[in-house]
Amino acid sequence: MLKGTEVLTTAQMRAIESAAMASGQVTGLDLMERAGRAVADQIRLRWPKAGRATVLCGPGNNGGDGYVVARLLHRAGWQVRVLGMDNTPGPDAAEMKRQWQMIGGIAPLTERELRNGPESDACVDAIFGTGLTRAPEGEIAAILAHLGGSGGRDHRPCVVSVDCPSGMCMDSGAMLGQPRTGGGFAPHARLTVAFDSPKPGHLIGLGPVLCGALVVADIGLQSWRERTLDGPGQRPVRLQAIWPGFDIPDQRFRSPTATLGKHSVSGSHKYSHGHALVLAGGPAKGGAARLSARAALRIGAGLVTVGPSREALHEHSGPPDALMRLAIDDAGGLCDLLADKRINAVCIGPGCGIGRAADLLADLLRARRATVLDADVLTALSRNADLMAGLHGDCVLTPHMGEFARLFPDLAERLEETPTQGPAWSKLDAAREAAARCGAVVLLKGPDTVIAHPDGRARIHSAFDVPWLATAGAGDVLAGMITGLLARGLTPLDAASLGTLIHARAARLFGPGLIADDLPDIVPQVLRALQKFQSSSSVATALPMT
Ligand SMILES: NC(=O)C1=CN([C@@H]2O[C@H](COP(=O)(O)OP(=O)(O)OC[C@H]3O[C@@H](n4cnc5c(N)ncnc54)[C@H](OP(=O)(O)O)[C@@H]3O)[C@@H](O)[C@H]2O)[C@H](O)CC1
Ligand SMILES: [K+]
């Protein structure tokens, strides 16, 4: 089965660590040794020939991991220099520090010492991890700035981060004390080795850019996750990364990709895969809705109808012929059409026009169909509290940050603030709060997309490697994909998650030079790859092909 990856908060991580140590079956020293070994192994994998390493050890257990890394690299023939603090760390870190001191010295952890020392192949950042609570200051801030290139980009050492780039809040991906949009000097790691599971900060905010290649090392805590967080088997996973694979243990669909093959026990006919309606706008505004409609067709909706105003109908006469067209002049015409219950998913917003969207939305929401709200209708929503109150659990809102700020100005303002305390307010918190407030799934778009359900479940999809996806109409295509998946019967959270995954994979496949028109026709290739991955990686579980 394609598997998503459960994402844990730093508080959950600490709870699991404590439970593991309290069990007496594993000690903090064991965990520290395993963590340090995971980092050292990853370094040796990337630098097979022993080189020179500088290890920066902070005041706590992250620093303790660093002392383990130093010892293991030294044992593998590396020339190791350690910069550390003269504090008394906790017992585990103190023991690892003592073991290092039997091998080598510890220079003061100062920017001057770092800058004036010998060049190294790798600089191991073991200053702060999950214990960062406030913005770094003084010498440590100067060191982090040096790691971030304050001395000039070409003086930026090759950083390997232990658990996370120091100074980064692992729950939000923000650098404490720095603007959220970056611009300050922060350690840009070549590689980050995290432990047990990714944290939100590895996947949202500045995290994906600062972490570089992310490796999540298993240090033997899985079983305590089962016990401490009563395991994924017993509870819905609250936070999941849609990466690299994808799985939604949803009652109706054991794995949504299994439903994408249009294999149906009850005979595969068009109505068994739903009927999507895309509400289009007036004259000369039809392109966006046609992108959405084409995407809904390509992702497998059984039927797709585009519904412009009468005076714009003639503009929708072009291909694809599979697309049905029907003039919808007003709310009355929409209600007449929705009398056909087979229309089970609607997309409103792309190219619809703000006024028209506002006129149609109230009746559309009363019809309680699975509905994707994007673009113009989000502006209409932000101007009308009654419409907002009409949202329901089968709605998916797909705002970008600008639209989100119009819909939830107070939440967006908090995201503008420079964070000084950890855990900092994050895009994940904002999306969850918005979903709970409006009672609908909120997909907050960006290279780090967060999808939040009103009940608190959320998914994160990071796609920082496809900047060309930020092109006119790409949002219209995403809205259409999600509508098509809703028509196929996926739940709003699953449809939004899978649509996001397929949307990014299509863009990745196409590459630079992409325009939104290219995206829908790449979907079949992405679906084939997902199915191949699913069939090759799935255990032989006979999935009900519905
Ligand atoms: N995840 C696991 O299973 C394992 C994780 N390990 C490693 O342990 C760290 C977490 O260690 P911890 O000691 O809790 O915290 P840190 O090492 O990240 O931070 C050390 C202390 O630094 C102080 N602090 C916080 N912010 C600042 C700041 N801005 N300036 C100065 N000092 C700061 C804080 O103490 P205070 O009392 O001063 O608040 C921190 O306690 C984890 O990331 C892993 O690397 C285990 O070793 C292996 C298993
Ligand atoms: K670190």
| Cis upstream peptide for 256 (omega within 30°) | no
Please report the pLDDT score of residue 414 as a whole number: 96
CA of 446 to the centre of ligand 2 (A): 26
User: Which ligand places an atom closest to the C-alpha of 61?
Assistant: 1
Residue 192 parent element (H or E): strand 189-195
132 assigned to a ligand binding site: yes
341 assigned to a ligand binding site: no
Tens digit of pLDDT for each residue in 158-182?
A: 999 999 999 999 999 999 999 998 8
Distance CA 500, CA 374 (A): 14
| Cis upstream peptide for 423 (omega within 30°) | yes
Distance CA 427, CA 448 (A): 9
Nearest to 56 by CA among 136, 114, 105, 119: 114
439 assigned to a ligand binding site: no
CA of 64 to the centre of ligand 1 (A): 9
Tokens (6 digits) for 221: 């805590």
Domains (range + CATH), the chain:
6-236 (3.40.50.10260), 270-415+422-529 (3.40.1190.20)
Give just the sign of the alpha carbon dihedral 413, 419, 421, 424.
positive
Q: What is the DSSP letter of 386?
A: H
Please report the pLDDT score of residue 184 as a whole number: 81
CA of 203 to the centre of ligand 2 (A): 16
User: Which ligand places an atom closest to the C-alpha of 127?
Assistant: 2
Distance CA 206, CA 446 (A): 12
Q: 2: Cβ–Cβ under 8 A, 6 or more apart, which residues? A: 245, 246, 247, 255, 257, 530, 533, 534, 537, 538
In Å, the largest CA–CA distance within the chain is 84
> Taking a C-beta distance cutoff of 8 angstroms, is the pair 245, 2 a contact?
yes
Q: Strand (E) positions, 224-301? A: 239-241, 275-279
> Taking a C-beta distance cutoff of 8 angstroms, is the pair 450, 428 a contact?
yes
Treating both helix axes as pointing N-terminal to C-terminal, what angle do 523-537 and 287-298 enclose, rounded to 10 degrees?
30
Residue 12 DSSP SS3: helix
Residues of the chain with pLDDT under 50: 1-3, 245-259, 263-265, 537-546
Tokens (6 digits) for 453: 């359900």
Nearest to 120 by CA among 136, 107, 138: 107
129 assigned to a ligand binding site: yes
Q: What is the DSSP letter of 421?
A: B
> Which residue ranges have their beta carbon within 6 Å of ligand 1?
13, 17, 31-32, 35, 58-65, 128-136, 140, 162-163, 195-196, 219, 221
461 DSSP β-pair partners: 449
Nearest to 296 by CA among 321, 277, 270: 277
Residue 325 DSSP SS3: strand
Best substitution site from 7, 71, 130 to test ligand 1's pocket, by max atoms within 8 Å of Cβ? 130
Please report the pLDDT score of residue 546 as a whole number: 28
User: Which ligand places an atom closest to the C-alpha of 129?
Assistant: 1
Residue 306 parent element (H or E): strand 303-307
Please report the pLDDT score of residue 534 as a whole number: 64
Complex prediction ipTM: 0.97
Distance CA 305, CA 274 (A): 11
CA of 163 to the centre of ligand 2 (A): 5
Q: Strand (E) positions, 44-106? A: 52-57, 79-84
Please report the pLDDT score of residue 520 as a whole number: 97
Q: 334: Cβ–Cβ under 8 A, 6 or more apart, which residues? A: 279, 307, 328, 360, 363, 364
For ligand 1, atom 47, which residue shows the shortest CA distance? 32
For ligand 1, atom 19, which residue shows the shortest CA distance? 131
Distance CA 158, CA 119 (A): 10
Tell which atom from ligand 1 comes closest to the C-alpha of 20: 3
Q: 369: Cβ–Cβ under 8 A, 6 or more apart, which residues? A: 338, 343, 344, 345, 346, 394
Please report the pLDDT score of residue 182 as a whole number: 81
For ligand 1, atom 44, which residue shows the shortest CA distance? 62
CA of 27 to the centre of ligand 2 (A): 21
Best substitution site from 12, 128, 216 to test ligand 1's pocket, by max atoms within 8 Å of Cβ? 128
The pTM of the full predicted model, rounded to 2 decimals, is 0.91
Cα distance between the two ends of the chain: 16
Please report the pLDDT score of residue 229 as a whole number: 65
Please report the pLDDT score of residue 243 as a whole number: 64
Please report the pLDDT score of residue 536 as a whole number: 59
